[in-house]
Structure 1
Amino acid sequence: MRVFIGVTGASGQIYARRLIEVLHEEGVDVEISVTRSAEYVMEQEGVDLPENVRRYDPKDLTAPPASGTYRIDAYIVCPCTLHTLSSVAVGVAGDLIKRAAVVALKEGRPLVFVVRETPWPRSALQAALKLREEGAVILPACPAFYHGPTTIEDLVDYVVQKVLDTIGVEVDLVRYQPRGMNFR
């Protein structure tokens, strides 16, 4: 399996790092492109991405993921800015990440937007709906708490588990701990 991950400048770079780590552990071929704003945010958040992945310059629209003839099994934008989401929704493909997402849509391949920004203006909600109608999955980075997380890593793993479930990579990052339910 080959996965392309576009890393944009939203906060939450830890999601991209963990996603890449787990995919690599599962033997998935990971290719990435990282925007300059993502690099800046990584520096601010103290996050480094794994080096064991093929990297493409986000300005290189001739890179293989920019073409539908290059076989990618799933495309993920993580974390995803609302700017990237909205640009793809209207077909603006000014960098490799956006172009790869447009390619995923036109080829009917799995495409997941892990949006981290909040709140969403009406225009972003409309863009998300349009992309969903075209087959993309909009997966906001919203960790849950019913599994009993005790660390930030537990919260990150919950979101990463959801992304991997969406693209069909079977892992067991989250241990659900059912608690008694009292519905009074």
Structure 2
Amino acid sequence: MATPVSSTHPSRFGILPQLVVIPAGVILMTLAAKAQIPFWPVPMTLHTMAVMGFALFLGPRLAVSIFLAYLAAGAAGLPVFSGTPERGIGLAYMMGPTAGYLLGFLLASALVGHWAAGRKFLGRFGAMLAGLALVYACGAAWLSLLVPADKILSVGVWPFVPGDLLKIAILAVASLALPRRADVRR
């Protein structure tokens, strides 16, 4: 028996919507990465919100496709990443201090998309918490090559936790608009 799929699932209608959704997702991901919102203890971007939102609302296949296209645009030297050009562009940026977080976002796109599908509010929130933990784990692991061990959490995790928790809480509340039976695991 076929798994019920939300009527908003792009692959249900064929390849054409995906040809629009993926580039639009890359543009939104870029805007989210570049947005600087004053917050304590550090200013936040909307990068995490975009990653989790795509996974939650579009499912793992499209979320991963969007993030892979985003990474490809960045590797080609397009200015899609957060920060300024002085921090580097292209592969130089991708291999810098944020490399682990970029990998974590890619993996979280798949994990959150799968784990949140068909779940209610708490399941979706839990899936995003697990995805966030994965992002932090990958980011901290990469930072361990660049930062003294006693500084990893204080520079690479703790400053971002309040903002990231706020972003996934907003997404979890927004997901209440999804039909309970929506399943976008494809």
TM-score above 0.5, yes or no: no
TM-score, normalized by length of structure 2? Answer: 0.27
TM-score, normalized by length of structure 1? Answer: 0.27
More strand by share: 1
More helix by share: 2
